[in-house]
Structure 1
């Protein structure tokens, strides 16, 4: 028996947009490299702690959380004294990320049948637009910012349909229930192969980014020694070919250093569009 091994409680709020198998793989890697025993909770209802209950850091029911940057900045705004950003983040492959830097992209997508008359963002005027939810940086907030920079607002689009998730938005474009959308590029990249005909009818019109990286947040009660081991193990994954190949399946190239300065951009974007919204119809 291994009663002496440290226990690690992980939660991911990044599914179903990201495959839960990615976070199961990270768990397995940490167990092997850190020498811990871990459990993983999958919370798909929100990109961060649910707003109508005590957050798991305060309640001390989680040690490590994978959540969206928007959810993380909200936690910071509450002055939560039990959270600490781990100084490490995954790097994902993307056609625009040639230097393999931290951060991710928002892909603006259309159906291939629309490409004859939609060749740039401004051609989207009057289209049926799908977005995951109002709080999504990659689906909503950066698009509102782009509209503002063009002297427009959400009335630029025709019908605005709240899909509920990035995956739903992709499906709505594929089935022509929506003419366009913006989604987390990593959601699109991983799930394309599962779409009809490999998703060949969903094409990327434009990519916005890099956006602030996905934060990995720790419970401050977790021992400093264990947090250091976790960070060091993740930073060294690129030196382990077997694990590099396993992570590559999910688009992860490596892990690199991260810090809170990376989230100032998100605050600036949110502040720029605080008076704007889509106010669409729930689909």
Structure 2
């Protein structure tokens, strides 16, 4: 592209992901498609605030990184000012041996619990559970779905502790404020090394999923040329050694094709699982 333009980007994925990852994505785009970028950081919500003017309809944002649940909410509202960029990051994980899009929910405990005959999810009956928020697919919904499939109900939990983020949930387990948590697998991937003693006292008991890929949402008003250039720059990541190495420090292996169909069917059913209404303590 001959003339530079400004690309306005927002991420709703922090602190689940480090903001440095999104700064790196912007750096890649600036170099690849000859643009300027600005980054907004919004950690209070997993996607656009539902009770505020939509940033796509008001033309305040060009590109947004958000949770799958938040994107599905926008689709439900028939928001025609936005569309899915057909690209998604692929993260490393011990369960992702085929390097496919999507992520997982890691059920974590403090390593001390292993000495108390805690070997499976069902061994956690009556234990205090930390979770990020009520609508998180990895922090709440998949846990409730899995417990229901195993014949369990609300009586399974000792207490529900709403932490506010996956990172905070992991810290609560590490400090023994909570006995277990379900956290986005990509949170542990990068953040564990910054925790006390490198997070060595955190044990992954089980892994649930795979969950639908992280959506990248783009302003529908952008020219098709720009949309295609952004997608091409991200998909080309594995072929450029210097960029591949820098993204690897965040656990990103590559970017892969993505489509709306993955947010239908099982993903939509999981999102529809009602959150348990228990006595919740906020931290």
Report if TM-score (shorter chain) is over 0.5.
yes
Gaps of 5+ in 2: none
TM-score by structure 1 length? 0.96
Q: Secondary structure at the match of 1:9?
A: strand
- Partner in structure 2 of residue 27 of structure 1: 26
Task: Report the number of matched residues.
Answer: 281
CA distance in 2, matches of 1:106, 1:246: 25
Q: Normalized against structure 2, the TM-score is what?
A: 0.96
Q: How does 1:158-237 map onto structure 2 within 5 Å?
A: 158-237=158-237
What pairs up with 1:240-251 in 2 under 5 angstroms? Answer: 240-251=240-251
Structure 2 counterparts to residues 5-154 of structure 1, below 5 A: 5-116=4-115, 117-154=117-154
SS state of the match for residue 245, structure 1? Answer: helix
Q: Which runs of 5+ in 1 are unaligned?
A: none
Alpha-carbon distance between aligned partners in 1 of 2:28 and 2:155, rounded to the nearest angstrom: 47
Tell me what 1:266 maps to: 267
**TM-superposed deviation, 1:159:** 1.1
**Cα distance, 1:152 vs structure 2:** 1.1
8 Å contact kept, 1:134–1:277: no
- Looking at structure 2, the residues matched to 40 and 150 of structure 1 have their Cα atoms a distance apart, in angstroms, of 43
Distance 2:94 2:279 in 1: 32
CA contact (8 A) 1:147 1:154 kept: no
Superposition RMSD on alpha carbons, in Å? 1.4
Contact map agreement 1:110 1:205 (CA 8 A) in 2: yes
Q: Is the 8 A contact 2:141 2:275 kept in 1?
A: no
The separation in 2 between residues aligned to 1:247 and 1:153, in whole angstroms, is 41
User: Quick check: 1:144–1:277 contact (8 Å CA) kept in 2?
Assistant: no
Q: 1:266 to 1:279 in 2, by over 3 A?
A: farther
